[in-house]
Amino acid sequence: MKRTLNIETVKKIGEEVLLKGWVGSIRSHGKLIFIDLRDFSGITQVVFTPKMDEKMYSLVSEIKPEYIIEILGEVSERPESMRNAEIPTGLIEIKAKEVKIISKAKTMPFPIDNDGYEINEKNRLEYRYLDLRRDRLKRNLKKRFETISLMRDIVKEKGFVEIETPILSKSTVEGAREFIVPSRNFKGKFYGLAQSPQQYKQLLISAGYEKYFQIARCLRDEDPRGDRQAEFTQLDIEMAFPDSEEDVMSLMEEIYIKVVKEIFPEKHITQIPFPKMTFKEAMEKYNTDKPDMRKNKEDKDELAFYWITDFPMFEWKEEYKRWGACHHPFTLPQETDIDKIKKNPKDILAHQYDLVLNGFEIAGGSLRTHDIETLTACFEVMGHEDEDLKKQFKHYYNAFEFGIPPHGGIASGIDRFFAVALNEESIREVIAFPKTGDNKDLMMASPSNVSKKQLKELGIEISEDEE
């Protein structure tokens, strides 16, 4: 007999069904026993009485919470007074005829039938596979999937093509610290894990893939925060021949408006079209480049999207005593006079824009430089020696020499969006297997030691003295 999902039972009153799932609460009244059976679709109440087969009935007393069981029974409408309006299947219940225990379960180390906010995260992360059983995380991850699915549909409709780019990439001096991966074939050399698909997507543009997108995994070896993980997901977009920044911004805007309308209908957006503010104005008025522009901060359902534009091109990096890119080195300066760029880096603005939501930066993008002279000037400002630069970005320069159209794009950190949209304080609540504040995976106990053999193959020695 084919299995019926819990949610489908309401359509099968009077029919015999086979249900499979996890045991939730068990309410025994002696002879009459109720079990809430849980599957991915929802919960159904199953009733056991002594009328059923004697052997089967005695088996019921062995069932404990979180056992996985199979129920053969009849869907029956509940008498008026016994209906439960709280659950979608509250109108019916299953009169059990047969029961089978498929998998037993130890007692859970912490409750999973609540939201789990009060449980120490150490425990939740160590037993993440149990933590994921709770409704809150199921709901979050379902919404996450629905949103990503819709995002794909929207950009696909507009002719964008999703292309996967390498995770195993190259380490570069600019940007976030990368995780590095030792090469076995070339001892002493390392890959860098991609901190974003930035260069790849620009090269795809040069190759004529005019509208690119990717639900892309990015990795950065920086210290995490409540809104940051070493490993996170971006909706990454790039397009050739944009008429202006507006082309990119309006696309991202359209995506988020649709997502809110269809996936989060209970939410309302403060202002459409999304208002714009220059970086200068934001810093002067709010002393931050990601101001929280909600009108009523008590309102859980308010989403205040805001564009911050006209970022400076360069910023002084005190640590290295040189100029660095405010966004990234490929950003197109608003100044076309190369001499001015070199002479007054601090005054140069960039064609760069960030999307802010309730005080969180949820997207950042720019038009990119597409002529070698400007690109070279920018690198010179940032103090890279010419030779050094050519080595680092050789492929990039070469590609430019073969021609690349004007282009621009944006990347949206969707974990952050989900955290805000799902009223979660931390993005860990919208990621299935997140890591701790020092990038440990408590469940897998990673990072971990590797064998001497593995190290030898890689030509790596671990020094004994750790200072």
Residues near RNA (CB under 7 A) are: 25, 27-32, 34, 36, 45, 47, 49-51, 64-65, 78-79, 81-84, 86-87, 90, 93, 107-111, 118-123, 125, 174-177, 195-196, 198, 220, 222-228, 318-319, 324-329, 426, 428, 436-438, 440, 442
For tokens 């020695």, name the residue.
461
Q: Which is nearer to RNA, 220 or 384 (CB)?
A: 220
Q: How far apart are CA 39 and CA 194, in angstroms?
A: 37
Q: How far apart are CA 277 and CA 279, in angstroms?
A: 7
Q: Which helix (H) or strand (E) holds 375?
A: helix 372-381
Q: Which is nearer to RNA, 107 or 448 (CB)?
A: 107
Q: Which is nearer to RNA, 66 or 253 (CB)?
A: 66
Structure tokens at 309: 């534009």
Provide, rounded to whole angstroms, the least separation between the CB of residue 273 and RNA: 26
Q: Which is nearer to RNA, 211 or 220 (CB)?
A: 220
Beta strand pairing call for 92-103 and 42-48: parallel
Cis peptide leading into 345, omega within 30 of 0? no
Provide, rounded to whole angstroms, the least separation between the CB of residue 293 and RNA: 18
For tokens 């400002």, name the residue.
381
Residue 373 bridge partners (DSSP): none
Q: Which is nearer to RNA, 269 or 279 (CB)?
A: 279
Provide, rounded to whole angstroms, the least separation between the CB of residue 361 and RNA: 8
Q: Which is nearer to RNA, 122 or 276 (CB)?
A: 122
Q: Which is nearer to RNA, 63 or 304 (CB)?
A: 63
DSSP symbol at 188: T
Query: Taking Cα atoms as reference points, which of 33, 12, 13 lies closest to residue 23?
Result: 33
SS (H, E, C) 22-64: EEEEEEEECCEEEEEEEECCEEEEEEECCCCCHHHHHHHCCCC
Query: Taking Cα atoms as reference points, which of 25, 79, 27, 78 lies closest to residue 48?
Result: 27
Q: What is the DSSP string of 133-159?
A: TSHHHHHHHHHHHHHHHHHHHHHHHTT
Provide, rounded to whole angstroms, the least separation between the CB of residue 434 and RNA: 8
- Three-class SS state of 350: strand
Provide, rounded to whole angstroms, the least separation between the CB of residue 456 and RNA: 27
Provide, rounded to whole angstroms, the least separation between the CB of residue 157 and RNA: 26
Provide, rounded to whole angstroms, the least separation between the CB of residue 208 and RNA: 22
Residue 73, Ramachandran bin (φ over 0: left; ψ between -120 and 50: alpha; else beta)? beta
Q: Which is nearer to RNA, 215 or 257 (CB)?
A: 215
Say if CB 151 and CB 259 are below 8 A apart.
Answer: yes
Provide, rounded to whole angstroms, the least separation between the CB of residue 194 and RNA: 8
Q: Which is nearer to RNA, 401 or 438 (CB)?
A: 438
